[in-house]
Every structure is written in structure tokens, then in C-alpha cells.
């Protein structure tokens, strides 16, 4: 039997007791700061929000770590190059080689950045299969920019009309710049604690319990079915959601607020369906009903999402929690 005074990690409840983040800024901007400053601000804000000293933290982690601890500081940060993501190394296989091969074999590859092509073609596949319109994706961009005006940490805090979203600079095909996430510099942090730690520091009133979480990677169907929708992650998102619902005992109807990965407006609509918010192929109907914003069934990406808030890769997961 373990001599630890704490329960085994597999049986313990875990809570988020503090969060912190920096404002996300355009890479190379005059107010851009270096890694240590970004990490320090996010970490200190998370500690201040939790109202605990750094000395109470057992571990501080960047990235995915599994450890036995009572209080953990999880922190992510990123400084990015200006412009769209590109290939950084030419002397090794890129992690998305299978994804690119599928795209090339089905549609070819143009000189546009690869990511917008992937998610643009996923959107076109959805339109061809289910009758979704360009306006449905644009409405998601419009909604997220509208939400961003209330978030002081968002890289962009401007509201636009639907016409302005659709008429903004083309990135790829129907995907305009106001429907695509920008590259960003920034950091985000969260303090996670056990139930025993909550009681020790009197944090019960501010703790948010993590009822379920899942990690998934590409499935065979991501490539075997030659579907761009599946290639960009539909099936693995659907399976992760299924496992979370099963583990927590909850359904989509029990949820009020959702932060999801809207790297492009198309991916947000696809994720509505993967999360089971509506049947497959009915994401456009959900958008038309206004069930993705205030006054509807769910408030989705109240932060403004990646489209407005920014996408500093190492901090993106943390800011969805913050």
C-alpha cells in the first residue's frame, strides 16, 4: 500500500481553480514579447486567480504530462512567424504527409497555404454532400467576431457585418480572412488541483471540476474513406466527444457553453456535428436557428474563438480553458 497521504491518482477528482492568459498579439508587432515574459504573465495570473502561492504548486508542465501531484500549473506559450503556417524543415517527413497526399490525390494542391486548402475543401465537400451554403460558414465568422468585442485578451476585437466578412480578402476559395484564425504570440495557464488540495486552501467555491477529458488521434477512417471532412478530424472529434459523454453521464443537452477549435469557420460547423449538437449534415440548420450564440441553445466560442482571439499553437488549448 502506498505511504502517500493522498488517494491514488486514478481515483481522485480534479478541479480547475485558476486560469490566466496574456493578450494574444500579432507576431512581430511592436508590443510582442519574448517567451519568458509571456509565460511569466500567464503563470502569475493563474496563481493570482487561484489565490495560492507558487510554493503550493507541486509541478509545472508545458505540454502533455501525466504525474501524481496535488496541484499542477499547466502552461503553454508560443511566438510565431508572421503569415500563414508553412513547412519549417525540408530534411524530414512532415507530420501531415498523409493528409497532404489525400488532398493532392483528390483535388490537387495549389500555391495557397495548405491548411486553408484542407479546411476549404472540407467545407466544399460538406456543401456538395448536404447543401450547405457559403453564407453558413461566413455567419460563423461573423458570430465569432461579434463575440470577440467582449474579450480584452482577443487579438482582434472588431465587429463586422456579414457582408464585410464575405467580402474580406480571399485566403482560399470561399474562405476569407475574417473566417480564418491568425497566427499569434501569447501564453495561457491553468492551475489544476485535487479535492484534498481544494479543502486545504478553501478553494471549493471557485473550483470547476473536470468531469471528463479524452485524447484522440487520427483513425483509419481519417484516410481510408478518402473524405476531406474525415481527414481534417471529424471522426476523432466525434469519438472523443462520445467517450466524454459516456464518462461524464452528460449529453449535449446538458451543456450551455462550448469553446471549440475554430481554426477556420468550416471546422467550427463540422465540429457542431462531431460533438452531436445536431445530426450529421445539419450544421447549417443549427447556424440558421442561431443556436450557436446568445439567445440560442448554446453559446459557442464566446471568447471570439481562434478566428478572433488568435492561434498561438502552444497556448491554444490553454486559452480554450481560460
Q: Is the pLDDT of residue 240 over 80?
A: yes
Nearest partner of 306 among 259, 258, 273, judged by Cα: 259
Query: How high is the pLDDT of residue 46?
Result: 92
User: 14-320 — its CATH code?
Assistant: 3.40.47.10
92 Cβ contact list (under 8 Å, min separation 6):
none
**Residue-range domain boundaries for the chain:** 14-320
- For residue 249, pLDDT beyond 90: yes
Number of CB atoms found within 10 A of residue 272's CB: 25
* 63 pLDDT above the threshold of 60: no
With 50 as the cut, is the pLDDT of residue 3 above it?
no
Q: Which of 16-25, 62-71, 238-247 has the lowest mean pLDDT?
A: 62-71
Structure confidence at residue 86 (pLDDT): 62
pTM summary value? 0.80
Q: What pLDDT score was predicted for residue 315?
A: 65
Residue 155 to residue 306: CA distance in whole angstroms: 9
The pLDDT tens digits for 205-216 are: 999 999 999 989
Rounded CA-CA distance 81/84 in Å is: 8
Q: Which pLDDT band holds residue 5 (cuts at 50, 70, 90)? A: very low
Q: What is the mean pLDDT of the chain?
A: 87
Query: Could you read off the pLDDT of 250-292 as tens digits, one per residue?
Result: 999 999 999 999 999 999 999 999 999 999 999 999 999 999 9
Q: What would the 3-class secondary structure string for the chain be?
A: CCCCCCCCHHHCCEEEEEEEECCCECCCCCCCCCHHHHHHHHHHHHHHHHCCCHHHCCEEECCCCCCCCCEEEEEEEECCCCCCCCCCCCCCCCCCHHHHHHHHHHHCCCCCCHHHHHHHHHHHHHHHHHCCCHHHHHHHHHHHHHHHCCCCCCCCCCCCCHHHHHHCCEEECCEEHHHECCCCEEEEEEEEEEHHHHHHHCCHHHCEECCCCCCCCCCCHHHHCCCHHHHCCHHHHHHHHHHHHHHHCCCHHHCCEECCCCCEHHHHHHHHHHCCCCCCCCHHHHHHHCCCCCCCCCEECCCCHHHHHCCCHHHHHHHHHC
232 vs 226: CA distance, rounded Å: 11
C-alpha cell at 56: 503550493
Residue 68 in this model has a pLDDT that exceeds 70 = no
Are 96 and 32 spatial neighbours (Cβ–Cβ below 8 Å)? no
Distance from C-alpha of 43 to C-alpha of 189, rounded to nearest angstrom: 6
How far lies 186's CA from each of 22, 85, 275, in Å?
6, 16, 28
pLDDT reading at 22 higher than 90? no
Amino acid at each position: 500500500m502506498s505511504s502517500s497521504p493522498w488517494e491514488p491518482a486514478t481515483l481522485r477528482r480534479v478541479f480547475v481553480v485558476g486560469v490566466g492568459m496574456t493578450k494574444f498579439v500579432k507576431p512581430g508587432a511592436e508590443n510582442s514579447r519574448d517567451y519568458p515574459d509571456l509565460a511569466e504573465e500567464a503563470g502569475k495570473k493563474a496563481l493570482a486567480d487561484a489565490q495560492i502561492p507558487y510554493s503550493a504548486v507541486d509541478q509545472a508542465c508545458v505540454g502533455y504530462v501525466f504525474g501524481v501531484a496535488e496541484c499542477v500549473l499547466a502552461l503553454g506559450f508560443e511566438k510565431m512567424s508572421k503569415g500563414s503556417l508553412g513547412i519549417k524543415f525540408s530534411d524530414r517527413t512532415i507530420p501531415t504527409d498523409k493528409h497532404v497526399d489525400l488532398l493532392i490525390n483528390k483535388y490537387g494542391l495549389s500555391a495557397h497555404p495548405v491548411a486553408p486548402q484542407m479546411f476549404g475543401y472540407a467545407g466544399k465537400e460538406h456543401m456538395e454532400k448536404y447543401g450547405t451554403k457559403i453564407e453558413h460558414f461566413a455567419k460563423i465568422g461573423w458570430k465569432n467576431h461579434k463575440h470577440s468585442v467582449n474579450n480584452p485578451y482577443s487579438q482582434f476585437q472588431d465587429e463586422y457585418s456579414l457582408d464585410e466578412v464575405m467580402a474580406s480578402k480571399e485566403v482560399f476559395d470561399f474562405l476569407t480572412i475574417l473566417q480564418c484564425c491568425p497566427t499569434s504570440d501569447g501564453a495561457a495557464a491553468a492551475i489544476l488541483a485535487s479535492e484534498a488540495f481544494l479543502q486545504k486552501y478553501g478553494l471549493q467555491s471557485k473550483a470547476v471540476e473536470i468531469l471528463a477529458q479524452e485524447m484522440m488521434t487520427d483513425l483509419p477512417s481519417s484516410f481510408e474513406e478518402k473524405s476531406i471532412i474525415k481527414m481534417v478530424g471529424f471522426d476523432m472529434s466525434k469519438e472523443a466527444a462520445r467517450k466524454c459523454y459516456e464518462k461524464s453521464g452528460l449529453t449535449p443537452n446538458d451543456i450551455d457553453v462550448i469553446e471549440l477549435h475554430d481554426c477556420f469557420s468550416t471546422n467550427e460547423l463540422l465540429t457542431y456535428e462531431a460533438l452531436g449538437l445536431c445530426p450529421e449534415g445539419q450544421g447549417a440548420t443549427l447556424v440558421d436557428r442561431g443556436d450557436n450564440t446568445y439567445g440560442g441553445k448554446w453559446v459557442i466560442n464566446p471568447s471570439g474563438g481562434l478566428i478572433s482571439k488568435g492561434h498561438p499553437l502552444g497556448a491554444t488549448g490553454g486559452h480554450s480553458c481560460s
